[in-house]
């Protein structure tokens, strides 16, 4: 790693400019998951920046889960896992009702398409997994937190069945961002029961290998949850 060319940055550079330089190196594949950054003193010399600014930039990257600072050993590029990279954004979404509603628009576009694609690829083995996941939702209906995880599992399974790794990564990110809204709606009266009914319709459409029905069932499900959340937001809840 010491041979990596970090390039120089204006010594008066702000921490965000230093962080942007490191991010660009990751985008350019000059830094890869698991790579260790040079020691702080060496890195500040290589980049021609002050150590306080560098230290602040590294802390910001650590908060973004782009790097991991290990006490006594140094800073490492993380595995850049999608769920980890968007993890802190769930807090932002928990405070921003407009962002949550925007997220539902994204979910309707992405998840409806995923359900449609999954129906074209569903196998007999997938049906067994879908029914087991559906049963898990039923069994956890008494506990909002357990039901939330069962709900995430079913939606992720549907994305897996779609057999498209890019869409699977999208859905993992969207689910991470949507935790705040799921926790809010999951405790509203009637939401769990409605979701279980919706999940049943989605699974039945997948079992029938009916893409259009799967798409419509997913849209109906997301629409039902969105209505509950919108009433909560508009009511100031």
- pLDDT of 182: 79
For the chain, give the mean pLDDT: 86
Query: Which tens digit of pLDDT belongs to each residue from 130-180?
Result: 999 999 999 999 998 899 999 999 999 999 999 999 899 888 888 877 776
The whole-angstrom separation of Cα 59 and Cα 56 is 5
Confidence category of residue 235, pLDDT binned at 50, 70, 90:
low
Say whether pLDDT at 231 is over 90: no
- Mean pLDDT value of segment 107-122: 96
- pLDDT of 43: 93
The whole-angstrom separation of Cα 114 and Cα 160 is 9
Please check whether residue 195 is in contact with residue 107, taking contact to mean a CB–CB distance below 8 angstroms.
no
- Mean pLDDT value of segment 14-24: 89
Alpha carbon 163 to chain centroid distance? Answer: 18
Q: Give residue limits of the domains in the chain.
A: 15-80, 85-234
Query: Which tens digit of pLDDT belongs to each residue from 66-100?
Result: 999 999 899 999 988 766 665 665 555 555 666 77
What CATH number should be reported for the domain whose range is 15-80?
1.10.10.10
- Mean pLDDT value of segment 1-27: 77
The topology under which CATH files domain 85-234 is 1.20.120
Percentage of the chain modeled with pLDDT above 70? 87
The whole-angstrom separation of Cα 100 and Cα 178 is 7
């Amino acid at each position: 790693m010491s041979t990596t060319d970090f390039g120089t940055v204006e010594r008066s550079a702000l921490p965000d400019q230093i962080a942007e330089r490191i991010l660009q190196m990751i985008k350019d594949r000059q830094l890869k998951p698991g790579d260790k950054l040079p020691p702080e003193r060496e890195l500040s010399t290589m980049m021609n920046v002050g150590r306080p600014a560098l230290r602040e930039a590294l802390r910001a990257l650590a908060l973004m889960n782009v790097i991991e600072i290990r006490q006594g050993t140094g800073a490492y590029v993380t595995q850049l896992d999608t769920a980890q990279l968007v993890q802190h954004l769930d807090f932002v979404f928990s405070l921003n009702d407009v962002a949550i509603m925007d997220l539902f628009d994204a979910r309707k576009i992405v998840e409806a398409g995923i359900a449609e694609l999954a129906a074209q690829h569903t196998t007999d083995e997938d049906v067994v997994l879908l029914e087991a996941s559906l049963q898990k939702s039923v069994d956890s209906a008494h506990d909002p937190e357990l039901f939330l995880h069962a709900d995430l599992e079913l939606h992720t399974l549907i994305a897996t069945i779609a057999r498209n790794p890019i869409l699977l990564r999208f859905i993992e990110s969207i689910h991470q961002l949507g935790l705040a809204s799921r926790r809010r709606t999951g405790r509203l009266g009637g939401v769990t029961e409605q979701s279980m009914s919706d999940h049943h319709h989605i699974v039945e459409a997948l079992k029938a290998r009916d893409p259009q029905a799967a798409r419509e069932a997913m849209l109906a499900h997301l629409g039902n949850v969105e209505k509950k959340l919108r009433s909560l937001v508009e009511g100031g809840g």
